[in-house]
């Protein structure tokens, strides 16, 4: 009888030093000894990727994208080998694999490659031999044999596509956060951790600013019908929030805010900002995601710091009474710049310093049970 297989992904903060690598090794071994095969995908330790990019920019004003891929892929290789050694010291066989050795085949777009195919032959063989397979996330190989990296959220993407290719039961995304919450618990103390949420709602949350799961990986999971688990590295395997494809949530699921945005005037020449547009408003103004652009103080185009606050759930755009309740909660703080519905999301554009208070009011009005 074929053994159940699970894929676990550990981010940079989970493997940032030797003590944490050993803690991850213990968690992986516990999972393996529960009777399942385990494939582990790891990110680079801590801020290694950022440090390597900074080093490249010190050496060269315009580092080549091919050389950048070769450089920044090193970080995950360090993590995977150290974790394999730590697991071996705990008495379990483990073998590490680069992206190319794992069969992650990509296109030729260096620094932002797209996965085309997964041929996990060596991973399957390692599992058949009783090994724990440790995979370097964030990287693959092009059809020309070039090392490539997958861009933002690349290790999550690696984990998702491997889960699908191996027919694994689920993909566990392990981080410092113990699951998906109905709002940001740092600003809404009454936010609740959800035991289960639909992949559809999780994707809407990611697009609306929630940072627990990345939109790129969620889109892959939706396409490949992969079940995810979002949990904390410090907690037992399989705990946290189950994110299920095909499921449908009822009523309002969550509130999410995005504070990394800028609003430009109508008719403005956007120049290099054009590629970062997240929305065009009806009056001609543009909403810009400033996180992947240079410092806003250097922009030629005037731009004002703003935020969006979104209500996630199928019923929010279907039931006028819920929409009215949401608007009352928003207007108790301020008059929004704009409001729009998209998919299963109702979004308000507001001044940045109003976003957190509005998130708390919306949560109280739409999600918290009446007292």
- pLDDT for the residue numbered 370: 57
- pLDDT for the residue numbered 1: 53
% of the chain exceeding 90 in pLDDT: 78
Q: Does 60 score more than 60 pLDDT?
A: yes
> What's the whole-number average pLDDT of the chain?
92
The domain 254-366 having CATH identifier 3.30.470.10: the answer here is no
Q: Does 195 score more than 80 pLDDT?
A: yes
Q: Does 211 score more than 50 pLDDT?
A: yes
**In this predicted model, what pLDDT tens digit does every residue of 89-148 receive, in sequence order?**
999 999 999 999 999 999 999 999 999 999 999 999 999 999 999 999 999 999 999 999
- pLDDT for the residue numbered 85: 98
Mean pLDDT, residues 352-367: 95
**In this predicted model, what pLDDT tens digit does every residue of 22-35 receive, in sequence order?**
999 999 999 999 99
The CATH class of the 5-175 domain is alpha beta
8 A C-beta contact, residue 39 and residue 133: yes
Q: pLDDT band at 290, cuts 50/70/90? A: confident
Q: pLDDT band at 333, cuts 50/70/90? A: very high
SS3 149: strand
Q: Does 83 score more than 90 pLDDT?
A: yes
Q: Does 185 score more than 90 pLDDT?
A: yes
Q: Does 276 score more than 90 pLDDT?
A: no
Q: Does 44 score more than 60 pLDDT?
A: yes
* Cα angle for residues 292, 179, 203 (degrees, 5° grid): 50
Q: What's 183's DSSP letter?
A: S
- This prediction has a pTM of 0.91
- pLDDT for the residue numbered 317: 82
Q: How far apart are CA 69 and CA 73, in angstroms?
A: 6
What are the C-alpha distances in Å from 370 to residues 36, 282, 363?
43, 36, 11
Q: Does 371 score more than 50 pLDDT?
A: no
Residue 300 burial (C-beta neighbours within 10 Å; 0-12, 13-18, 19+): exposed
For the chain, give every domain's residue range. 5-175, 254-366
């Amino acid at each position: 009888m074929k053994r159940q297989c699970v894929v676990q992904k550990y981010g940079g903060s989970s493997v940032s030093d030797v003590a944490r690598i050993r803690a991850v090794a213990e968690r992986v071994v516990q999972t393996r000894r529960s009777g399942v095969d385990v494939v582990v995908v790891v990110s680079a330790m801590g801020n290694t990727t950022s440090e390597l990019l900074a080093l490249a920019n010190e050496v060269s004003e315009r580092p080549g994208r091919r050389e950048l891929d070769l450089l920044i892929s090193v970080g995950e290789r360090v993590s995977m080998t150290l974790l394999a050694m730590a697991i071996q010291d705990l008495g379990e066989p483990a073998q590490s694999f680069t992206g190319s050795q794992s069969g992650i085949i990509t296109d030729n777009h260096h620094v932002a490659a797209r996965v085309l195919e997964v041929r996990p032959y060596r991973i399957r063989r390692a599992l058949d031999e009783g090994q724990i397979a440790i995979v370097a996330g964030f990287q693959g190989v092009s059809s020309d044999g070039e090392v490539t990296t997958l861009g933002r959220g690349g290790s999550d993407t690696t984990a998702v596509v491997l889960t699908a290719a191996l027919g694994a039961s689920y993909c566990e995304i392990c981080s410092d956060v113990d699951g998906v919450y109905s709002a940001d618990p740092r600003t809404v103390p009454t936010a609740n951790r959800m035991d289960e949420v639909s992949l559809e709602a999780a994707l809407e949350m990611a697009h609306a600013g929630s940072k627990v799961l990345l939109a790129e990986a969620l889109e892959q999971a939706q396409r490949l019908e992969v079940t995810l688990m979002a949990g904390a590295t410090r907690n037992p395997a399989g705990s946290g929030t189950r994110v299920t494809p095909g499921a449908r949530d009822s009523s309002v699921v969550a509130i999410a805010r995005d504070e990394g945005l800028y609003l430009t005037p109508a008719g403005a020449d956007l120049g290099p900002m054009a590629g970062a547009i997240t929305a065009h408003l009806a009056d001609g103004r543009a909403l810009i995601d400033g996180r992947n652009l240079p410092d806003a103080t250097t922009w030629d185009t005037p731009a004002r710091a703003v935020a969006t606050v979104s209500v996630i759930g199928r019923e929010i755009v279907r039931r006028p009474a819920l929409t009215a309740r949401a608007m009352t909660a928003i207007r108790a703080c301020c008059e929004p710049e704009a409001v729009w519905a998209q998919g299963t999301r109702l979004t308000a554009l507001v001044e940045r310093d109003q976003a957190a208070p509005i998130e708390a009011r919306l949560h109280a009005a739409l999600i918290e049970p009446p007292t």
